[in-house]
Structure 1
């Protein structure tokens, strides 16, 4: 079998491995597709994501779907051959945060393909993975696997919109039209936002945002910038300090700014006086929890997000896939076909 392994910044390899048999309470999955996330790209290009640094070889990937291949002793799972998605998180279920229903910020969470802890948690860009049975989600029979692979990033988008509160009838700004920003746009449209303006530096991501439900777009730096001067809610999905500045500047008094994109490590500028005098609410949004099941339902129900997936590569072409995924002039969500090494 083969897997996509990061060793250090720029050192990405497709390596052979021998999958282990599922133990008690575990399910083995033959992975069909994996979606390359922005965090995977950061590990590839910089060897880190925010404050999480690669210190040992790690299989990347946490957006995966496939078919059950085997059940371990006592596992509560579907029979072999069943199409499934894999929830990438295993919270501790014992800390105060888990007890308060905020398992997504559990400090003890094990998350597929994450260097947040050492030893790192190995990820899902492998032809076979073994996970606890609680992470398995059976997919509706009519949901195509290429579409189902969006369940994880769509869950991130759902959680971010939930953090914003009720968006019905509100004007919302989304900075950053990467895959997450476009999925946030689709969720906002589904939740009844009255207007959704998406900003980005590139033309191609903005076209995808339009297909996902944006009512207006702004190409940053273009001479015909058509900004609405005041938004009720802003979602920062770019992970860029300039995006955060834009959100704070263009949110109305008493409005809400949701910080979703991971900013560069260390301190970043913040328009503190505007935040204070407008009484803005700044809310972080990190990963997700139960939204994963809702995301699968929305995908099965036809949420218009197909434009987000732009490319598919065989596992053997992993480096090319990552390079294309980084080129935002042509790509949005890039998939690895892990069934073909």
Structure 2
């Protein structure tokens, strides 16, 4: 079987890969589609994500859908051939966070395509992969694989919106219109947000944000107006999805007194300065949002019900052209969510 493997910064290869045989409680998934995420791009370009360094060959990918290929001992289903999505996290289930129901921040969790541990947790950009059976989800009726591949990033967005608290009828700012930011827009509109204004440095991602529900957009380097009107200074909630200090600054400056800022985008490694006095004097609530847990199932249900997030997907490449796909995915002037077709010859 072939897989997309990173060896070090700038060294991405499509090569033979042996996924092994399923053990007790495991299944084999014949992967069909995988979405390239920002963390995959970091591993490719930098050889790391934050403090997690690639120290051995790592199969990338954690946004993966496919079909059950084989069942390990003791596994009753889903049946062979069933289309499934894969929840990429395996929390420990025993730590205080897991016991409290905060499994997404489990310190011992394993995550597909992650270099956080040694040996690394191999990811899903492979034609076959072996995973615990409780990580696979049979797709709801009517949900095809191409839409289902957005379940993982949509779950990230849903978790961020939940961290924001009540958003129905509220005015929300989203900084960053990449795939995650645009999915946050869709999640906010589904949750009843009255206005969702999105900022970004580029026109192309802002166009995607408008297609999935943004009520207005603004170029971040031209921040004095929104569609010709003055910026509102009373956002109830701001979601920082750009992963930049400038985006965080915009959120803190634009949210109302007593408002809430959700930090979703991962900031650069090390310390990032921010306007702490604004947090104090305006009593702004700041909340982090990391990955997701049961929102993955909610995402599948929303996609099955017809939530329109299709415009987030911009390109699809066969596995054999993975390097080309990664290079394009890093070009935000041309691409949004780029998929790998893991079945294509």
- In structure 2, C-alpha distance between the alignment counterparts of 1:300 and 1:209, rounded to whole Å: 21
- In terms of mean alpha carbon deviation, does 45-54 or 246-255 score higher? 45-54
Unaligned runs of 5+ in 2: none
Q: CA deviation at 1:225?
A: 3.1
Unaligned runs of 5+ in 1: none
Q: Which residue of 1 aligns with 2:333?
A: 329
Please say if residues 5 and 60 of structure 2, whose CA atoms lie closer than 8 Å, have aligned partners that are also in contact: yes
Q: Which residue of 2 aligns with 1:153?
A: 153
Q: Which residue of 2 aligns with 1:318?
A: 322
State how 1:148-187 maps to structure 2 within 5 Å.
148-187=148-187
Q: Which residue of 1 aligns with 2:242?
A: 238
- In terms of mean alpha carbon deviation, does 74-83 or 317-326 score higher? 74-83
Q: Which residue of 1 aligns with 2:259?
A: 255
- In structure 2, C-alpha distance between the alignment counterparts of 1:84 and 1:144, rounded to whole Å: 10
Secondary structure of 1:160's aligned partner: helix
State how 1:72-221 maps to structure 2 within 5 Å.
72-221=72-221
- In terms of mean alpha carbon deviation, does 10-19 or 162-171 score higher? 10-19
State how 1:21-32 maps to structure 2 within 5 Å.
21-32=21-32
Please say if residues 65 and 149 of structure 1, whose CA atoms lie closer than 8 Å, have aligned partners that are also in contact: yes
- In structure 1, C-alpha distance between the alignment counterparts of 2:331 and 2:187, rounded to whole Å: 25
Secondary structure of 1:234's aligned partner: strand
- In structure 2, C-alpha distance between the alignment counterparts of 1:25 and 1:180, rounded to whole Å: 32
- In terms of mean alpha carbon deviation, does 306-315 or 40-49 score higher? 40-49
Q: CA deviation at 1:311?
A: 0.2
Secondary structure of 1:177's aligned partner: coil
The 4+ residue runs of structure 1 with deviation greater than 4 A are none
Please say if residues 114 and 120 of structure 2, whose CA atoms lie closer than 8 Å, have aligned partners that are also in contact: yes
* Alignment TM-score, normalising by the size of structure 1: 0.98
- In structure 1, C-alpha distance between the alignment counterparts of 2:118 and 2:240, rounded to whole Å: 29
Cα shift readout 1:140-189 (whole Å, capped 9, x = no counterpart) = 23211111000000000000000000101111000000000000000000
Q: Which residue of 2 aligns with 1:304?
A: 308
Cα shift readout 1:24-48 (whole Å, capped 9, x = no counterpart) = 1001000000000011011111111
Query: Does residue 7 of structure 2 align to residue 14 of structure 1?
Result: no
Secondary structure of 2:311's aligned partner: helix
Q: Which residue of 2 aligns with 1:48?
A: 48
Q: CA deviation at 1:223?
A: 7.3
- In structure 1, C-alpha distance between the alignment counterparts of 2:223 and 2:305, rounded to whole Å: 39
Query: Does residue 254 of structure 2 align to residue 270 of structure 1?
Result: no
Secondary structure of 2:225's aligned partner: coil
Aligned alpha-carbon RMSD (Å): 1.0
Please say if residues 27 and 68 of structure 2, whose CA atoms lie closer than 8 Å, have aligned partners that are also in contact: yes
Cα shift readout 1:53-96 (whole Å, capped 9, x = no counterpart) = 21221100000000000000001421111000000000000000
Please say if residues 174 and 235 of structure 1, whose CA atoms lie closer than 8 Å, have aligned partners that are also in contact: yes
- In structure 2, C-alpha distance between the alignment counterparts of 1:169 and 1:136, rounded to whole Å: 35
Please say if residues 35 and 333 of structure 1, whose CA atoms lie closer than 8 Å, have aligned partners that are also in contact: yes
- In structure 1, C-alpha distance between the alignment counterparts of 2:263 and 2:50, rounded to whole Å: 14
Query: Does residue 285 of structure 2 align to residue 281 of structure 1?
Result: yes
Q: CA deviation at 1:18?
A: 2.2
Secondary structure of 1:147's aligned partner: helix
Please say if residues 23 and 72 of structure 2, whose CA atoms lie closer than 8 Å, have aligned partners that are also in contact: yes
Q: CA deviation at 1:229?
A: 2.0
Please say if residues 141 and 304 of structure 2, whose CA atoms lie closer than 8 Å, have aligned partners that are also in contact: no
Q: CA deviation at 1:293?
A: 0.4
- In structure 1, C-alpha distance between the alignment counterparts of 2:181 and 2:187, rounded to whole Å: 10
Q: CA deviation at 1:19?
A: 2.6
